[in-house]
Structure 1
Amino acid sequence: AAAPEAARGWTATLAVTAWVCVAVTVVLASHLVGRARRTAAGRRTETGALKARLAQENAALVHLVNVALPAVAQQVRDGTGADEAVANAAGGSGPHLRQVLQSCAGLMEDAVRRAADAEAGHREALRETRRNTAELEHLTGSTLPATVLKLREGTSAEIALAELDWPRGPQARACAELFVRELAHSERRTAAAESAAAKSLSRVQAKAVSMLADLREMQDRHGEEFLGDLLRLDHSTSQLGLITDRLALLMGGRSSRAWNRPIVMESILRGAVGRIAAYQRVRMHCATGAAISGYAAEGVMHLLAELMDNAANFSPPIDEVHVYVEERTAGIVVTIEDSGLKMADAAMRHAEEAVSGRTTDLASLQGTRLGLAVVGRLAAKYGVGVSYRPSSRGGTGVVVLVPPQLLAQQRDTGPAPAGRTFGGAVPVPGPAPTA
């Protein structure tokens, strides 16, 4: 309206065009806004549906984790099948959760089956282990020791194997059979060696006894010029006889001499002293006139000779060994005391065990120290008691108790005979030996 007259036409045209553009813009904007509002409303509705569905899925998942899976696991452990357990516990779960539940149930069923198999295998292995342990304990504690005793008594390997209580396990059975056969072979070799040694020693014993008889006959036949030499030979031969008797007794043989009449205790002592090298250092104090029966005289003489020899060897060369003999109610008590070093506790226990007669295995003997083992065998054979104690002379004392059943005469009720002390001269044995 304010434009000049000449410009009103194009000004009006421009204004109308502008207003048309504004109107089109407003209409278009309004349409677009409405469309956007409708789209946003649809999105909100879809979002709400998704939230509801998500809540439902969360609830189903929580139910699956907290209720369904534990229930399925319990049913599977109780022995129910996987399909049946899923059908009982699935409820209104969706297909995906049902599939997950089905997979978990299958895995649980397989795991439970494997665990049951493993537990059964473990129980079976435990029973087998206990059975094998019991069989091995019975085999090592009862069967094999009894079989060893049978083999040592002379039973053959085949008989021992036939009487053996075999274990059911093949390995233990094979080991037991191998052990028995090897032990039987070893026992046969040992018995053969001992028999051969005993036979050889019996010949040496016979030769030593024959030499002693010849020497004593020569002592009676020749004069004093040969007597000293003959006595030395006699003493050496007596020591040889002691060694051979020692070995023979260890090999299961017998002594080289036997007496057919009782031997008084003084002659027993003289005969024992005459068999050791250090006879001049032995001082004997005998206060009894009792005699030992003939069947036990040689055994008691040999036992005392071994103990005297041991006392003389383990005491200083200048000290004397004193032997005291007394008669008591329990029998004849012989005490042998030396002046050497006192035995240590371990050595005392070893000596006590050796003279007890419980150790008969030659493999347990130490080197050439065989005297105590012979003492143990003789003590066990005749029932003689041998014990060790510290000596009042500073060394070691051995107390030998000869039981009354070995005595050839009863104790005298009168006064005891006066004690006699002798020693230092070459001892002369008692009666002559019989064949």
Structure 2
Amino acid sequence: MSVSASPPPRRGRAHRPLPVAAPSAALGAAAVAGVAVSLAAPDAAGPWVAATACAAWLCLAAAAVAATLTVRRERAAADAAGGELRALRSRSDGLTAEASHLVNVTLPSLVKRLRDGEAPDDALASATPPRDPQLRRVLHAFGMETGAAEQRARGSAANAARAVRQLALAADGVDRLTAVTLPTAVAHLRRGASAETVLGELELPADPRLRVLADSVVRDLATGERRAAAAQEASAKALSRVQAKAVSMLADLREMQDRYGEEIFGDLLRLDHNTAQLGLLTDRLALLMGGRPSRAWNRPIPMESILRGAVGRIAAYQRVRLHSSSTAAVVGFAAEGVMHLLAELMDNATAFSPPVDEVHVYVEERTAGIVVTIEDSGLKMAGAALRRAEEAVSGRVTDLAHLRGTRLGLTVVGRLAAKYGMSVSFRPSSRGGTGVVVLFPSQLLAKPQDEDDADLVRPLAATAAPAAPTATGSGTSPSTGHTDLGAYTVTTGAGATGWSVTASDGTHRGPAAPAVPSADGAGGPDPGAARPRPRRARRGRPVHGASRPTPRRRPRGAGCRRP
């Protein structure tokens, strides 16, 4: 690095001797003037003039001598000051050179050594110190302070790097805790594992604070899951008792329909229908709580009976029109769930359509299975409502915390669809409202095994609206109606299935209500099959004015066969 050279010292003026000619000439001229004045003066004033001239000359001489001496002294002082100034200038130039060297060479090299990790004392010892003591002190102070600052900077950098590593580890721990550990713990807890078992199986974070957090959260979740499971189990048990009571009431009511006359038959039908709706509600709650339906069947149930059983469980059953030509049957283990699913969808369709409009149900057989379409004439669903409905019937939402309001039917539909592998979707209806398409997979279907079953699942025509009730029981009851099915008249009843069949000759075939299944879950009669009834309990008038022969007793659950 270049170093500025000190400028050469300036040369002062040479000392010249003071001139004495001018003062001497002045004194001589003054003396000549005094003599001339004295000679020219009168005789009487001559001495005084001469004395005055002499005095003036002496004063002038003294002043000249004093001035000369003063000038000499001042010149000597000026010469001394000039020498000092030159010495100071030389010293200043030297200090400037040393400072320049210190700033441009010494300090940068010292900083470099300190930044390379050299100790301050070693770095100062290797530096070239300036001759000026003040600059040496500046160099020493700068080196020590810079060394201390470098050490602090290195410590801060190490602390920052350590903090960054710890922060990264903590962030990874939090991410793993939220993305892996806690979801895994929740899944294990929901499967019934205890908190100790889950904590023993989990890979907990290395950070002790996160470990404490994970432990606390898992234990709290375990407590909440135990509480929820206990509440759900208690609710399911309580609802199972209600289901049993509802089924028992239905059995008693249907037995009363066989036992008593027409004067109370309409009231019994209304009670039967209300009890069937109560059974639908209890089944809905039981399924939400993880329970089972109130009935179970140990043989395939024809599609006709499935539809009738679903219609008979809803309040507005009179507005439902069935269009089915299917001869398939639903396997027994899924029959009650399928019936409940269809009942929920029909109930939803009747609830969200005008009370004067009908809801139409169509059944089609396809290669993939049975397709049931339920169409209403209500308002079309808004986009947000349609998305919520599709999410509910998808079966992906199983947590009760996601339930909204008191409308739980579609959530139950989703659970049943996921359980039995059915597909439920929504689409715009050709009747102006909303259509629901349900696909029964082939594994849920069973063909009739004998001629009796084939006769039982004959095609079903559209159901007509029931007639108005009468106080005496004549005509149709409040929950009955007639539809011509070839040689038969189908009467919509108010039980769980709500149907009875009357032959064209007037012979009453009995209601198509399911009997109560056995306590061990074995299936009872077909939910849509006919049941014998005494002549006095016959519903509806025979068509074409036919006579009233005494009905033949047949075993419970026997199908409706042509005579």
Question: Which category describes the TM-score, using the shorter chain as reference length?
Answer: over 0.9
Inter-partner Cα distance in structure 1 for 2:137 and 2:50: 76
Structure 1 residue aligned with 2:331: 293
User: Using the alignment, how far apart are the partners of 1:213 and 1:219 within structure 2?
Assistant: 10
Partner Cα separation in structure 2 for residue 5 and residue 251 of structure 1: 163
Unaligned runs of 5+ in 1: none
| Alpha-carbon distance in structure 1 between the residues aligned to 2:267 and 2:395 | 39
Q: CA RMSD in A?
A: 2.1
**Within 2, Cα distance between the matches of 1:62 and 1:362?**
82
Structure-2 separation of matches of 1:265 and 1:7: 176
- Calculate percent identity across the aligned residue pairs: 60
> In the TM superposition, what whole-angstrom CA distance separates every residue of 1:6-39 from its partner, at most 9, and x where no partner exists?
6555555554444444333333322222222222
The equivalent of 1:327 in structure 2 is: 365
Mapped pair 1:171 → 2:213 = no
Aligned residues: 431
Q: Flag the 1:348–1:328 CA change in 2: closer, same or farther, 3 A.
A: same
3-state SS of paired residue (1:398)? strand
Retained in 1: the 8 A contact 2:389–2:410?
yes
**1:4 shift after superposition:** 5.0
- The answer as to 2:463 corresponding to 1:422 is yes
Aligned counterparts of 2:320 and 2:61: Cα–Cα separation in 1:
156
Q: Which deviations, in whole Å up to 9, do the C-alpha atoms of 1:288-329 show, x marking residues without a partner?
A: 111111111111101000000000000000000000001110
2:257 maps to 1:219: yes
Q: Give per-residue Cα distances to partners, 1:389-429, cap 9 Å, x unaligned.
A: 01000000000001111111289xxxx97662225332234
Contact 1:205/1:245 (<8 A) preserved? yes
Q: Is the Cα–Cα contact under 8 Å of residues 390 and 425 in structure 2 kept in the other structure?
A: yes
Q: CA deviation at 1:70?
A: 2.1
Report what 1:310 is aligned to: 348
Q: Which residue is equivalent to 1:109? A: 147
How far is 1:85 from its partner?
2.9
Q: Which residue of 2 aligns with 1:141?
A: 179
1:98 maps to: 136
The TM-score normalised by the length of structure 1 is: 0.94
In structure 2, give the amino acid aligned to 1:161.
Answer: L
One-letter amino acid of the structure 2 residue matched with residue 124 of structure 1: R
Query: Which residue does the alignment assign to 1:352?
Result: 390
Give the one of 503, 506, 517 matched to 1:434.
517
**Residues in 1 aligned to 2:199 and 2:464: alpha-carbon distance in whole angstroms:** 59
Give a deviation string over 1:333-364, Cα, whole Å, max 9, x none.
10000000000111111111111111011111
One-letter identity of the residue aligned with 2:264? F
37-46 or 308-317: which moved more?
37-46
How far, CA to CA, are the matches of 1:229 and 1:28 in structure 2?
Answer: 158
8 A Cα contact 2:378 2:434, kept in partner: yes
* 1:197-243 superposed Cα distances (whole Å, 9 cap, x missing partner): 11111111111111111111222222333322221111111111111
The verdict on how the C-alpha distance between 1:5 and 1:15 changes in structure 2, with shifts beyond 3 A counting, is same
How far the C-alpha of 1:93 sits from its partner, in A, is 4.0
The residue type paired with residue 112 of structure 2 is Q
How far 1:121 moved relative to its partner? Answer: 1.0
2:113: which partner in 1?
A: 75
Q: Which 5+ residue runs of structure 2 have no aligned equivalent?
A: 1-38, 450-456, 466-491, 500-511, 519-563
Task: Tell me how far apart the structure 2 counterparts of residues 6 and 201 of structure 1 sit (CA, whole Å).
Answer: 168
The structure in which a higher percent of residues are helix is 1
**Match of residue 267 from structure 2:** 229
Q: Give 1:185's aligned residue.
A: 223
CA shift at 1:432, angstroms?
2.4
From 97, 103, 106, the counterpart of 1:65:
103
The answer to whether the Cα contact below 8 Å between 1:283 and 1:321 also exists between their aligned partners in 2 is: yes
Question: How far apart in 2 are the matches of 1:223 and 1:417?
Answer: 31
SS of 1:397's partner is strand
Cα distance in 1 between the residues matched to 2:95 and 2:411? 94
Q: 2:423 aligns with which of 382, 385, 399?
A: 385
3-state SS, counterpart of residue 462 of structure 2 = strand
- Report how far residue 86 of structure 1 moved: 3.3
Larger radius of gyration: 2
**One-letter amino acid of the counterpart of residue 82, structure 1:** P
